[in-house]
């Protein structure tokens, strides 16, 4: 039916085929220009690369040109087990890809979850890592970057000196003196959320203009992970955890959201309220 329609007019046929060509070109989102410009000998022995024989085997071929990645893979404090499992070609195509960064799959998340949908032991201490795939199934409210498929927004898949191969630091402890540079979070979020004692602008976690992020994170030195799950959460809004840990203690936050604020009742204090519009008196809870 569709074809009959196109064959009616020559112009339409031309249009049809040129659209096909465009569609084919946009199929390639990233490439090695040495491949597309037919400089096959940058990597292969035969000039036209017909044999596919390589001048150097394994990751060393890639390291020839990617010195920065080589440094990360070889010298990072936190190395990535993925390098021993499939090396560069476990995640990248060598020639072209219909995805960004020559990736084999449509986004980094799809790649990461091929391995991180089970518990893996850490190289450094043998401790078991979370099963992220299962965590995301059980917690459907995924944090922004994960929602759009980008685990590499926070993690460096090639390895890094920071905790858990993060691109920027993040505190290991639940309690620590606040410094914005210690949190990968401020790559995207505004640090003034934590540093302005009074604000009506930078955060909604406030009682009137009294900034409750400032109180908890800055004054009481509590890290984000005590209240938020930066991968994904389940029942509560704002990626707030149902249950948390603080030192050896494990307890629920019992957060309840309200139109202009919320309240919680962890083991740290009795139920306390915050309201952005009508500030609540902390002594009377009214
Ligand atoms: C940046 C390095 C690089 C360049 C440039 C390159 N190749 Fe390759 N090519 C590779 C690697 C690495 C493999 C091995 C892939 C594997 O084992 O999965 C490969 C595999 C091949 C194969 C084996 C079959 C396949 O597709 O896996 C052929 C054929 C091939 N290349 C042809 C070419 C031709 C022709 C050119 C130039 C137009 C070229 N290559 C340019 C890195 C390169
Ligand atoms: C001959 C030098 C050379 C070799 C060998 C080489 N690359 Fe590259 N690579 C480049 C250059 C140059 C770029 C920048 C894009 C371009 O112009 O090709 C690049 C870009 C990339 C990118 C980013 C692509 C993007 O669109 O962001 C990835 C990923 C990559 N290379 C992976 C590899 C892997 C994996 C290997 C080994 C199989 C490899 N490279 C081997 C030169 C090389
Ligand atoms: C576990 C999967 C994985 C492995 C293994 C891997 N990469 Fe990547 N690589 C990625 C992802 C994901 C990106 C996109 C990073 C981003 O968006 O910041 C990337 C990006 C890149 C880039 C683009 C610029 C940059 O530095 O971020 C280069 C070059 C690259 N990889 C080279 C390599 C080489 C060389 C190897 C082997 C030593 C390798 N990769 C192994 C997942 C991987
Ligand atoms: C080929 C399998 C494989 C893929 C794909 C993979 N990983 Fe891993 N990853 C591992 C293994 C195995 C470990 C445990 C060994 C170790 O400590 O690195 C690990 C460890 C980690 C760790 C903990 C590292 C540490 O030192 O504490 C993080 C974080 C991580 N991966 C993130 C990612 C992200 C993000 C991606 C996608 C860009 C990804 N992984 C893709 C196999 C993989
Ligand atoms: C918004 C930033 C961010 C994004 C995006 C992100 N992570 Fe993480 N991830 C973290 C932080 C922060 C930690 C360190 C947590 C800690 O130990 O306190 C972490 C820890 C991990 C760990 C180690 C967990 C453990 O048991 O110690 C793995 C594995 C991991 N992430 C994989 C992933 C995968 C896979 C994705 C994509 C689906 C992803 N991450 C996306 C911030 C992020
Ligand atoms: C790559 C950018 C990026 C990074 C890095 C990042 N975030 Fe986010 N974050 C977002 C986006 C986009 C949203 C909005 C979508 C959503 O609610 O998940 C968001 C939303 C949030 C929310 C919920 C807002 C609400 O009221 O619903 C919290 C809480 C949060 N982030 C905490 C963190 C923490 C903690 C970190 C550091 C571990 C972090 N973010 C790092 C991009 C980022
Ligand atoms: C004591 C618990 C607690 C801690 C610790 C905490 N938050 Fe929050 N955060 C909240 C609550 C509650 C909200 C929801 C505010 C609202 O919209 O009602 C929130 C909201 C957010 C939002 C949404 C925008 C906003 O500010 O209203 C972001 C982003 C965020 N937090 C990031 C962080 C980061 C990054 C850290 C660590 C540096 C952190 N939070 C530490 C409880 C906490």
pLDDT tens sequence across 55-93: 999 999 999 999 999 999 999 999 999 999 999 999 999
Average pLDDT, the chain: 90
Cα distances (Å, whole numbers) of residue 56 to 44, 53, 74, 95? 8, 9, 18, 16
> What is the torsional sign of CA 234, 237, 238, 240?
negative
240 or 283: which leads in pLDDT: 240
- For position 18, what pLDDT does the model report? 38
Ligand 2 pocket: which of 36, 38, 43, 65 to mutate (most atoms <8 Å of CB)?
65
Taken as a whole, the chain contains a residue count of 286
- For position 19, what pLDDT does the model report? 40
Residues 6+ apart with CB under 8 A from 103: 30, 91, 92, 93, 97, 111
- For position 48, what pLDDT does the model report? 64
163-185: average pLDDT: 97
Pocket lining: 227 vs ligand 7, CB cutoff 6 Å: yes
Atom index in ligand 1 nearest the CA of residue 38 equals 38
Give residue-wise pLDDT tens across range 92-113.
999 999 999 999 999 999 999 9
* Contact (Cβ atoms closer than 8 angstroms) between residue 234 and residue 138: yes
* Contact (Cβ atoms closer than 8 angstroms) between residue 223 and residue 178: no
Residue nearest to atom 11 of ligand 7 (CA): 205
State what percent of residues in the chain have pLDDT above 90: 84
Integer Cα distance of 154 and 182 in angstroms: 13
- Which ligand has the minimum distance to the alpha carbon of residue 150? 5
Atom index in ligand 4 nearest the CA of residue 91 equals 5
Integer Cα distance of 80 and 68 in angstroms: 15
* Contact (Cβ atoms closer than 8 angstroms) between residue 27 and residue 38: no
Integer Cα distance of 10 and 108 in angstroms: 43
Give residue-wise pLDDT tens across range 251-277.
999 999 999 999 999 998 999 999 999
Task: For residue 128, count CB atoms less than 10 angstroms from its CB and return exposed for 0-12, middle for 13-18, buried for 19 or more.
Answer: exposed
- Dist. CA 213 → ligand 7 center (Å): 6
- For position 20, what pLDDT does the model report? 41
Residue nearest to atom 40 of ligand 7 (CA): 224
Residue nearest to atom 20 of ligand 3 (CA): 101
Pocket lining: 88 vs ligand 6, CB cutoff 6 Å: no
- For position 124, what pLDDT does the model report? 85
Q: pLDDT confidence of 139, banded at 50, 70, 90?
A: very high
* pLDDT of 198 above 80: yes
Q: How open is the CA angle 221-232-103, to the nearest 5 degrees?
A: 115
Residue nearest to atom 23 of ligand 4 (CA): 164
Integer Cα distance of 180 and 185 in angstroms: 9
- For position 281, what pLDDT does the model report? 94
Q: pLDDT confidence of 5, banded at 50, 70, 90?
A: very low
């Amino acid at each position: 039916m569709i074809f009959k329609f196109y064959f009616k007019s020559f112009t339409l046929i031309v249009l049809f085929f040129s659209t096909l060509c465009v569609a084919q070109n946009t199929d390639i989102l990233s490439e090695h220009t040495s491949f597309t410009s037919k400089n096959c000998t940058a990597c292969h022995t035969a000039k036209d690369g017909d044999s596919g024989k390589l001048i150097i085997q394994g990751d060393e071929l890639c390291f020839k040109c990617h010195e920065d990645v080589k440094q990360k893979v070889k010298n990072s404090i936190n190395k990535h087990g993925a390098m021993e499992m499939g090396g560069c070609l476990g995640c990248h195509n060598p020639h072209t890809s219909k995805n960004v960064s020559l990736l084999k799959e449509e986004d980094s998340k799809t790649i990461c979850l091929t391995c991180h949908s089970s518990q893996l032991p850490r190289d450094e201490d043998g401790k078991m890592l979370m099963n992220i795939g299962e965590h995301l199934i059980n917690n459907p409210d995924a944090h922004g970057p994960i929602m759009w498929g980008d685990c590499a927004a926070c993690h460096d898949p090639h390895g890094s000196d920071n905790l858990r191969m993060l691109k920027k630091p993040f505190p290991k402890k639940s309690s620590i003196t606040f410094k914005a540079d210690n949190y990968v979070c401020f790559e995207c979020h505004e640090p003034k959320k934590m540093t302005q004692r009074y604000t009506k602008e930078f955060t909604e976690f406030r009682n009137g203009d009294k900034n409750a992020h400032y109180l908890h994170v800055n004054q009481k030195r509590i890290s984000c992970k005590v209240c938020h799950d930066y991968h994904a959460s389940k029942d509560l809004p704002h990626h707030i955890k149902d249950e948390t840990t603080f030192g050896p203690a494990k307890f629920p936050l019992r957060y309840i959201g309200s139109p202009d604020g919320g309240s919680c009742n962890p083991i740290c204090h009795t139920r306390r309220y915050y309201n952005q519009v009508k500030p609540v008196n902390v002594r009377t809870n009214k």
